[in-house]
């Protein structure tokens, strides 16, 4: 695994949170994107070498809606940049981690992504992400 690529924060109201985090970082998000298959609308802030992703549910069945209902707003996942997501998934499975999707899927911000179940990582949802060739 390379660096922390971004930290995902679950929010109830993306518009209000965009405003809040723009004040916090002193700049607006550089992109906003809906990933319908994941039931989320996201926005991304560039903060030094890492990014912050805000996530709002697009429907009540969204994993983000369920997360907020259970735990409230807050840090949802930590994403790590990987060079070869397929190799990394195979390695982590071998090490005994529970990979939620063994085939990487399209995520926001031009990435291939896979998630590790928080039960196998001390309660932290881990995202692996690899930049897709443009
Ligand atoms: Zn993410």
CB 53 within 8 A of CB 42: yes
d(CA 7, CA 74): 10
Residue 98 pLDDT grade (very low, low, confident, very high; cuts 50, 70, 90): very high
Question: Above 80 in pLDDT, residue 124?
Answer: yes
Calculate mean pLDDT across residues 13-20.
Answer: 98
pTM reported for the whole predicted model:
0.93
From ligand 1's centre to the CA of 67, what distance in Å? 14
Residue 36 pLDDT grade (very low, low, confident, very high; cuts 50, 70, 90): confident
From ligand 1's centre to the CA of 37, what distance in Å? 14
From ligand 1's centre to the CA of 15, what distance in Å? 18
Residues with CB under 5 A from ligand 1 (ion): 8, 53, 79, 127
From ligand 1's centre to the CA of 53, what distance in Å? 6
Calculate mean pLDDT across residues 116-131.
Answer: 96
Tell me the DSSP string of 33-65.
EEEGGGTEEEEEEEETTEEEEEEEESSTTSHHH
3-state helix, strand, coil in the chain (%, to 5): 30, 40, 35
Number of separate helices (H) and strands (E) present in the chain:
3, 8
């Amino acid at each position: 695994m390379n660096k922390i690529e971004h930290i995902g924060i679950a929010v109830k109201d993306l518009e209000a949170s965009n405003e809040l985090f723009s004040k916090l970082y002193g700049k607006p998000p550089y992109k906003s994107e809906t990933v319908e298959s994941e039931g989320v609308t996201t926005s991304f802030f560039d903060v030094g070498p890492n990014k912050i992703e805000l996530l709002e549910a697009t429907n009540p069945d969204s994993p983000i809606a369920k997360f907020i209902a259970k735990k409230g707003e807050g840090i949802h996942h930590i994403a790590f940049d990987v060079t070869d997501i397929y190799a990394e998934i195979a390695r982590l499975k071998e090490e005994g981690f529970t990979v939620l999707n063994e085939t990487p899927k399209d995520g926001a911000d031009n990435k291939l992504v896979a998630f590790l179940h928080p039960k196998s990582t001390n309660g932290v949802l881990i995202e692996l992400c690899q930049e897709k060739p443009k």
